[in-house]
Structure 1
Amino acid sequence: MADEYGATLWCGGHRPGRMHDTTAARVEGVDALLDAYPQVTVLVDAGYRGLAKTHPGQVVAPPLKLRPGAPPARQTAWEAERKQQPSQRIPVEHAIAELKWWRQLQRFTGRRELLPETIDAVAGLVSDRMITW
């Protein structure tokens, strides 16, 4: 997670195996935090569409694709909506990309147990650097 300026706020929980984005958010308590702070608005990508369904108006996901044969006016409105949301998410995407630029995360060859600590350390360095700019 990142704020609107691109500063890294949270890298998520580290769990063995694979887990869907929405499930991970619920397991880590993001779902409960959204319930506790209804004034917070979150822009998410398509992986969090389930979270957007449970928190309408608070979690904003990209619009679903239109079915074939939709009226031209609806297609035009959909295109505008589809382009608006990702443009607002650009600082978040840059924050995610900045973590991936670090060589330690690009080619991690250490022990698997040390990867969560490495991710947290890099995220802390990136976040601190963003604050000092």
Structure 2
Amino acid sequence: MIISNRRITGLTADVIAELVTEIGPLWQERHQARLASRQRKRAVGAGAKHRLVFVDRLLATLVHLRHGTTHDVLACWFGVDRSTITRAIGEVRPLLAERGCTVSRDVWLRSLAEVVDHLGVTGKTGIIDGTEIRVRRPAAGRKDRDKFISGKNKQNAVKSMVVTDDEGRVLFCSPTKPASCADITHARQLGLVNDAGYQGLGAQTGGRVVTPPHRQFKKNAPDWYEEIYERQRKAHSSRRIRVEHGIAHLKNWRALARHLGRREHMSDTVQAIAGLLSHQQITDLKSARQM
């Protein structure tokens, strides 16, 4: 039932089957490595048996990411203890994050350098923008408590940079940073820029970076200038809107609407969802072309 209903996991049954084939062996390999690293040795077949097979662990993680379902609810749903669900999600989520984003069946983009190379080879345009995700406020007295406060939205959040192609398909999501980090600083660290928050980098990079048009007249601008500026601004916005669409698709996954878990897991959560979304987008595109 869970696999057959896309509304529950956000993915089709075919995509889930591919995930099982791809990630299952990796999970089994890491599980065996953890057992082998223990000092205490057990006989073959000894020890507690898994009550949650890998497919169920994957499904629990997908439902958690898609709907923000609590571990307690998932534990009741799958008939196991809460700690089992917590451990399962903690094991599967990094594996999903490491997959990266896909642009075809045999091309995966796991780093920003690979995204840049792909755009250079294909001649396509990449669009970048930042998105903020609300998180819980750090406890009182904790060091650097204020660094998560967003200067824009005045709320505790983390920030990630999203790269899409000119059709809004997700190509890359960066690891998260505290929301107090300015967009332009984050963009410089990544090597990419785009939005109005990045104005000035065009001159600093000798024109290699395309930014929104800079307004020359702050007050009493001539009518002819207002017309030109508005035309340039709309032309830039019409290209940039695609990344906003990509971010909206990401935020459809409730784990990114507002994160109530540990902030340390946010980078894995963002990158896992980006990889899952891009995989489903490519599958949908392929199916549409075959019709």
TM superposition score normalised by structure 1: 0.79
Deviation at 1:77, TM superposition (A): 0.7
Identity, % of aligned positions: 43
Out of 160, 176, 195, the position equivalent to 1:45 is 195
How far apart, in 2, do the equivalents of 1:107 and 1:70 lie? 41
Higher RCO (Cα < 8 Å, 6 or more apart): 1
Counterpart-to-counterpart distance in 2, 1:124 and 1:54: 33
Judging by fraction of residues, say which structure has more strand. Answer: 2
From 8, 15, 33, the equivalent of 2:170 is 8
Displacement after TM superposition at 1:124 (Å): 0.6
**Based on CA coordinates, which of the two structures has the bigger radius of gyration?**
2
Give unmatched runs, 5+ long, in structure 1.
Answer: 32-41
- Work out the CA distance in 1 between the residues paired with 2:223 and 2:263: 52
Q: 2:228: which partner in 1?
A: 77
| 1:85/1:63 CA distance change after superposition, 3 Å | same
Maintained 8 Å contact 2:199/2:214: no
For these two proteins, the number of residue pairs brought into alignment is 121
User: In the TM superposition, what is the alpha-carbon distance from 1:56 to its structure 2 partner?
Assistant: 4.2
Partner of 1:20: 182
Where does the alignment leave 5 or more consecutive residues of structure 2 unmatched?
Answer: 1-162, 286-291
Residues 130 and 57 of structure 1, relative CA distance in 2, 3 Å threshold: farther
Which secondary structure does the structure 2 equivalent of 1:67 belong to?
Answer: coil
Equivalent residue for 1:37?
A: none
Q: Could you tell me how far 1:52 is from its partner in structure 2?
A: 2.4
Contact kept, 8 Å, 2:168 with 2:245, in 1: the verdict is yes
* TM-score for the superposition, normalised by structure 2: 0.38
Partner residue, 1:36: none
> What's the counterpart of residue 245 of structure 2?
94
Query: What displacement does 1:17 show?
Result: 5.7
Cα distance change, pair 82–110 in 1 and its aligned pair in 2 (3 A): same
